[in-house]
Amino acid sequence: MMPGKENRQFRRGIADSGFGLIEVLAALCLILAASMVSLSAGSASWRAFRTARLEAEGLAAGRDKIEELIALLPARRVGGHDQWGHGRAQFTRTWQVRPWVGYPGLQRLEVRTSWLDEDLVILDLAAVAR
């Protein structure tokens, strides 16, 4: 057997047992695609969490105003608006007090909480009080 022939077979065996450039690039592309899917899912879940937190704070703002109106004497209840919140959660609350038609002595209390955070979100609450 010729010494050069053994050397060529040895080299061919090494090349066949390793990864080629195409396989490495394909694996990197798959890893990159999986990373992008993971990042976008994480971003979407963070946005959903943040929106849910803001909606909960807006609901609390409206509930606080309704409770404040219920605590007042009927003659002292009047409509209005104000700013409420702290940090990035700034809300505008608008409330109306109207007699409830058909039910003497009862008032309809309506509170609208709205804010601008990526999209306009509006929460409406209503209550009836004596």
CATH value at residue 121: 3.30.1300
pTM over the 0.85 mark: no
Assess whether pLDDT exceeds 70 at residue 4.
Answer: no
Residue 48 lies in a domain: yes
Cα 59 from chain centre: 15
Residue 122 lies in a domain: yes
| Structure confidence at residue 5 (pLDDT) | 57
Give the number of domains in the chain. 1
Residue 45 lies in a domain: yes
Residue 11 lies in a domain: no
36-40, 53-57, 92-96, 118-122 — which one is most confidently predicted on average? Answer: 92-96
Residue 51 lies in a domain: yes
Residue 13 lies in a domain: no
Stretch 116-128: mean pLDDT: 71
Measured between alpha carbons, how far is 103 from 29 in angstroms, rounded to an integer?
69
Stretch 12-19: mean pLDDT: 60
Measured between alpha carbons, how far is 37 from 22 in angstroms, rounded to an integer?
23
Q: Which domain holds residue 91?
A: 20-129
Q: How far is CA 7 from CA 18, 20, 26, 42, 76, in A?
A: 17, 20, 31, 53, 101
Question: How confident is the model over 61-76, as pLDDT tens digits?
Answer: 889 999 999 999 988 9
Residue 9 lies in a domain: no
**Exposed/middle/buried for 101, CB within 10 Å: 0-12, 13-18, 19+?**
exposed
Stretch 10-26: mean pLDDT: 70
Residue 82 lies in a domain: yes
Cα 85 from chain centre: 18
